[in-house]
Amino acid sequence: MVHSFILPQETIASIQERLEILERCLNDVNPQDEAMAGLIELANNRQISLSQLGEEFKQFRYKLNKFSRLSQEFDRKVEQDELEVLFFVRYNFIFKEVLDQYWDFLLNKEGREFVKSMMTASVSFYKKIKIEANSGSYKKNEEYIFLETLKHVIQSLIIASLRVNALSEEEIDALDLGDITPQESETMLTSLASMRKWDWVYRNLA
């Protein structure tokens, strides 16, 4: 079931490659270049200078690389059936941070594909967990943490999807998600997931 949430590393790699091209444009300014015109527009929208935009690109790259490494670890844990609730929470909130802070860096084909693929994976996983939770297949409270975490992520994905034109409002409505208002904060979910981790450790020690 968790395999549906695995993100192809090629998707992240394509964004990283695009980012390198844009960073080179910043270092070799040519106002007539189409990519440069896009960067100037992006800087104006953010109300910052091109040099400041370069610094934000570095921050974006750092967080995207971190997410990429976590994504690879996520895949490994899923393959070996070692996925921990705490890791899942941290992985998803780092992804949410990338979406919330840098959605306008995804205003291109690669970015739209990235957002769309993550929306598909997150919604599929969310719905499958709800089914598993109703059937009693998950451990008590574990499915609650998964679902609440995904509510945060899906809300950010909806906003980002509309902003970068990855999905239309009609396509989002067709997902039939119902009420996805989170009842728990990131801090509380991290705390709950931490307790689940140590419960698991103590049970195995016993």
Above 60 in pLDDT, residue 202? no
Query: Using one digit for the tens of pLDDT, what is the confidence trace for 78-133?
Result: 788 777 888 999 999 999 999 999 998 888 888 898 899 889 989 998 998 888 77
Average pLDDT over residues 186-193: 91
Task: Kindly report, residue by residue over 46-69, the tens digit of the pLDDT.
Answer: 888 888 888 888 898 888 888 888
Give the residue among 84, 114, 108, 83 at the shortest CA–CA distance from 22: 108
Q: Tell me which residue range forms the domain holding 54.
A: 2-205
DSSP symbol at 181 = -
> Does residue 5 carry a pLDDT above 90?
no
Q: pLDDT tens for residues 142-188?
A: 888 999 999 999 999 999 999 999 999 999 999 999 999 999 999 99
Q: Does the pLDDT value for residue 134 go beyond 60? A: yes
Q: Looking at residue 6, what DSSP letter applies?
A: P
Task: Calculate Rg over the CA atoms of the chain.
Answer: 19
User: What is residue 203's predicted lDDT score, i.e. its pLDDT?
Assistant: 45
What pLDDT is stored for residue 205 in this prediction? 40
* pTM of the model as a whole: 0.81
Q: Residue 136: its pLDDT value, please?
A: 64
Structurally, the chain folds into a number of domains equal to 1
* Distance, CA of 124 to CA of 122 (rounded, Å): 5
Give the pLDDT score at 54.
Answer: 85
